Structure 1
Amino acid sequence: MLQTVLTTGLRQTLQRLVKPLLNPAIPVPLQRSLIRQVYRSSIPPLGSRFSKIQLANVPVLRTRYGKESRHAILYLHGGAYVIGSPETHKGITGHLVKTAQSTVYAPDYRLAPEHPFPAALDDAVTVYKALLDRGHAPENIAVAGDSAGGGLALALAMRLRDEGVALPGSLTLFSPWVDLTHAALYAPESEPVLQRRWIENAAGLYCAGELRTHPYISPIHGDLHGLPPILIQVGSDEILLNDSQRLADKARQQETEVTLEVYNSLWHVFQVHAGQLSRATEAMTTAGDHIRSNQTL
């Protein structure tokens, strides 16, 4: 009963307070400031340890929990490539560290419109290669991300494959944004978080004249052969639902191992509520299991 009330309350809060902020009429710097305040409600587990480091000159937030681990997760935050940071996503990285029993490295990658494509992808590649240089075996590096970060995680794996770099052990994608053409957006009865006009504007700022069908911008238009096992989690009440379903279908057609989990009556990147909402906590446990099952001991 309490979880039902909490779910209803969170949905209403998102609808009334968060969704109006994700509006192209609000200047990007102000959106960044306001969203930082919103994410204060996403709380990491007690005992999470955060430290700011540099990896190959890219600022990174390292998250640890419990004993030291030789396993690593490269986590790419969401925010439509224009807002968000590792600081806003401490709740997600904290819970992922706990469930996956790995150290999370979340790069503060460059954002549009100041730094359009391919700046974010270049930063992700740089940090991944830095982890390899620090002695992490590729099979013991997982790559994960939410929303735009989910699309970026997939683009990263595709680019590494194309460049002949050893691939990570797995990919974990929360509500990934993988088609910036928005040719097949879902139309739920209620979308508590995203507005189409906001993601349209953000896509324009990120692409900055580059074709939106570029496979490193919209990975759904790329080749998924040879990628590591993918876990996709998505809510049924979000306009990006079709992105996840199409991605899973294409991965299967191209013989890439994929698991798609659709969480009924939940919303975009509901995992931010892990530790509060039981289904979000369960989803993070599943994500941790996926990551650990694709690592060596």
Structure 2
Amino acid sequence: MVLPFSKMHGSGNDFVVIDSRGGALVLSAATIRAMADRHTGIGFDQLLSVEPARDGASVFYYGIWNADGSPSGQCGNGVRCVAAWLHRAGALPLGKTVQIQSPSGPVAVRLVDAHHVMVDMGEPIFDPARIPFDAPHASARYILEVDGQTLEIGAASMGNPHAVVVVDDLSAPALARLGPALTGHSRFREGANTDFVQKLSPRHVRLRVHERGSGWTLACGTGACAAMAVLRQRGEVEVQVQVDLPGGNLQIDWVGPGEHLWMTGPASFVFEGEWLDWQAGD
């Protein structure tokens, strides 16, 4: 049997998108890992499935799996690719805001054009219990011991947990070890995406992200949102911020508490293919 797929990317964060509108996708973690392998498989940061909606208010549902086969609750670059994929399939119109359902809940999307999507990412979560992050109360800054080094971090959730660290130099060698160490830190009991952010101005930052389950990626949409939200919480950036990632740029808009955060960015098709020797539930 063969499994058709679309290879896509959002600012370099790459995905395999599978049409499962006929029913929920069932794949083993081992199969997902094999597909994600960049030498012997297709290669991707996350796998996305487009499935029937699971509530009456959404038009579709999408599932998310990391390259190691583990499930994920949200993916900002991924939802843009899902929206662009649905538009190409004739299922989403341009210029109209519609709701699709993620594993973390509903998300509103609006296609600016066939390859650019605005996404309502909801309101950032700073409550430690909801991130989840081990802390007695919410704060804009926390002190952690990470791999023998003391770091000041911000913690937030955008449907998945994030640790945000402000740095002066994104190419500093220490980040190579601090990224994985912070991702697996014990105070993030479900792990975290680690976002290293360099401030260029109140409207412009650079970002490098180590994602739980996928490692270093060229872009992370929820990471861009979390980094902007933490800096906005501290009063260090303005309402609209350009976030430069290794794979491209995103625009993040957030007024502040009580308001939803919006992300705007590209979604690109790369190629169509088929995964061979696949069986449902393998």
TM-score by length of 2: 0.32
Normalized per residue, the structure richer in strand is 2
Normalized per residue, the structure richer in helix is 1
TM-score by length of 1: 0.31
